[in-house]
Amino acid sequence: MKIAVLGVGTTKFGELWEFSPRALVKEAVSQALADAKLDLAEIEALYVGNMLSGILGGQENLGALFAEELGLRCPAFKIEGACASGGLAVHSAILGILAGIYKTVLVVGIEKMTDHKPEQVSAALMGAGYEEERMAGITFPGLYAILARVYMEKYGITQKDLAAVSVKNHYHATLNPKAQFQFAVSAEQVLASPIIADPLRLLDCSPVSDGAAAIVLSSKFKTKGKTPVYITASAVATDSLSLGGRKDLTSLLATVRAAKKAYQIAGISPKNIDVAEVHDCFSIAEILACEDLGFFSRGKAAKEIAAGKTTLNKGKLVVNPSGGLKACGHPVGATGVKQIGEIVIQLRGEAGARQVKGAKVGLAHNVGGSGSVAVVHILKNE
């Protein structure tokens, strides 16, 4: 598989009360098209990744809506798979290209969350979950807190080990001008922050965010813009929606399956990855991801992360140079698209202060629900 990423763009992530969803999409797309030096007329299909526009805003039909707003008159689709909506939209766009039906396509991820009350957002996000869990009153931090508790008991790690993830990702975000939280936090600060769902504290959790990200994918490798980076694998897997339906809570089986398939398609192993954007919606999620993606062996990821093995300019493999969901922000539908954008910038050597030196192979990992769906993409710069 070889699909060129011709252009990437992203808005700043954060509380963007002054921008409408349409304005955010337009900004991200205009950046991506400028980056690719492409005209709109060359776009043959539009894929939109979004989760909450219906529940929170009563607006559906986002494919046609954004196509019109952008001045496109091409086929347009909205793909939804909870927090993996962006990654699934990228996968779907790739299928459209591989099918030979669309040559050059635009993928947009968008979410507008901060205009709504926290309790509305919290309830809406449980739309990704299992009905019985939702009706029992559990929220996403609660679900991941269960995963964290089981992992901590099995492998003997502490809240301080969890905190190392947030410390690293906040540090990375200080180097990313698009990040929602461009400030560092110490382990002490994380451990002093309020408990959200024991053992997860406020600074273990990714925020509620607004933002949009766009990428242009193509089967045409020649470009007037930047040298393209290539997607060499795209894989999706699902698992039980409910935690109760799973055999093991110390691993996300959907990630394991999607990663295995992606490595196979790309013909590489986890050792080949120089830079990865993984789905750290909570600190425990990055620990699980680093093991499920094969970066570290079972039970070891927390210590390795704390030792700086995935920190910029320290580790051989850098994880979440953008700041991740934790510190760059997590506008749900945008995340999976932004992850690909970050890897592309890294593989082009354009990441500035947060550049992973000499990065040649990258991975993006997007999860929906508490692990019900996972998407893994592998990218190379040659």
Look up 330 and say whether it is catalytic: yes
**Which residues are 275's β-sheet partners?**
318, 362
Closest CB 346 distance from a copy of itself, rounded Å: 26
User: Backbone dihedral region of 328: left (phi > 0), alpha (psi from -120 to 50 degrees) or beta?
Assistant: alpha
Give the Cα separation of 259 and 21 in Å (integer): 32
Q: Shortest distance, CB of residue 155 to a copy of itself, whole angstroms?
A: 26
Using CB under 8 A, which of 34, 41, 95, 195 touches a copy of itself?
Answer: 95
Q: Cα(260)–Cα(270) distance, rounded to whole angstroms?
A: 10
Nearest approach, Cβ of residue 106 and a copy of itself (Å):
13
Is residue 175 within the footprint of a copy of itself (CB under 8 A)? no
Establish if 64 lies at the interface with a copy of itself (CB under 8 A): yes
**Residue 226: Cβ within 10 Å count:** 17
Give how many residues touch a copy of itself by CB under 8 A.
59
* Stretch touching a copy of itself by CB under 8 A, among 79-87, 284-292, 314-322, 344-352: 79-87
- Residue 12: which residues within 8 A CB-CB, separation 6 or more? 177, 178, 179, 180, 211
CB of 204 to a copy of itself, least distance (A): 23
* Six-digit token string for 185: 């936090």
Other beta carbons within 10 Å of 349 = 14
240 is a site residue for a copy of itself (CB under 8 A):
yes
Specify whether the CB–CB gap between 179 and 327 falls below 8 A: yes
Task: Sort 244 into a burial class: Cβ within 10 Å, 0-12 / 13-18 / 19+.
Answer: exposed
Q: Is 9 in the site for a copy of itself (CB under 8 A)?
A: no
Angle value at C-alpha 362, between 328 and 291, nearest 5 degrees: 80
- CA proximity to 80, closest of 39, 47, 34, 56: 47
Q: Is 67 one of the binding residues for a copy of itself (CB under 8 A)?
A: yes
Q: For this structure, is 281 an active site residue?
A: no
Whether the Cβ atoms of residue 347 and residue 230 lie closer than 8 Å to each other: no
Q: Which of 326, 299, 317, 330 is nearest to 357 (CA)?
A: 317
Residues numbered 131 to 170 that lie near a copy of itself (CB under 8 A) are: 131, 134
Helix H or strand E encompassing 217: strand 210-218
Under 8 Å between Cβ of 57 and 344: no
Pull the structure tokens for residue 328. Answer: 């760059």
If one asks whether residue 237 binds a copy of itself (CB under 8 A), the answer comes out as yes
CA-derived radius of gyration, the chain: 19
Contact between 338 and 327 under an 8 Å Cβ cutoff? The reply is no
The answer to whether residue 79 forms part of the interface with a copy of itself (CB under 8 A) is yes
Q: Which is nearer to a copy of itself, 77 or 263 (CB)?
A: 77
CB of residue 36 to a copy of itself, shortest distance in Å: 21
- Rule CB under 8 A: say whether 76 interacts with a copy of itself: yes
The 252-291 site mask, x for binding a copy of itself (CB under 8 A), equals -----x----------------------------------
Shortest distance, position 304 Cβ to a copy of itself, whole Å? 30
Cβ of residue 266: shortest distance to a copy of itself, in angstroms? 14
Shortest spacing between CB 101 and a copy of itself, in angstroms? 6
Asked if 43 is part of the footprint of a copy of itself (rule: CB under 8 A), the reply reads no
82 binds a copy of itself (CB under 8 A): yes
Question: Dihedrals φ, ψ of 106, to 5°?
Answer: -110, 130
Question: What is the rounded distance in angstroms from the CA atom of residue 82 to the CA atom of residue 201?
Answer: 23
Looking at beta carbons only, is 165 or 258 nearer to a copy of itself?
258
User: Which residues within the stretch 114-133 sit at the binding site for a copy of itself (CB under 8 A)?
Assistant: 123-124, 126-131
Give the nearer residue to a copy of itself in terms of CB position, either 14 or 331.
Answer: 331
329 touches a copy of itself (CB under 8 A): no
The single residue of 83, 205, 281, 328 carrying the catalytic annotation is 83
Choose, from 91, 172, 279, 330, the residue flagged as catalytic.
330
Residues that bind a copy of itself (CB under 8 A): 51-52, 54-55, 58-65, 67-68, 72-82, 88, 91-92, 94-101, 123-124, 126-131, 134, 235-242, 245, 257, 368-369, 372-373
- Active-site residues: which are they? 83, 330
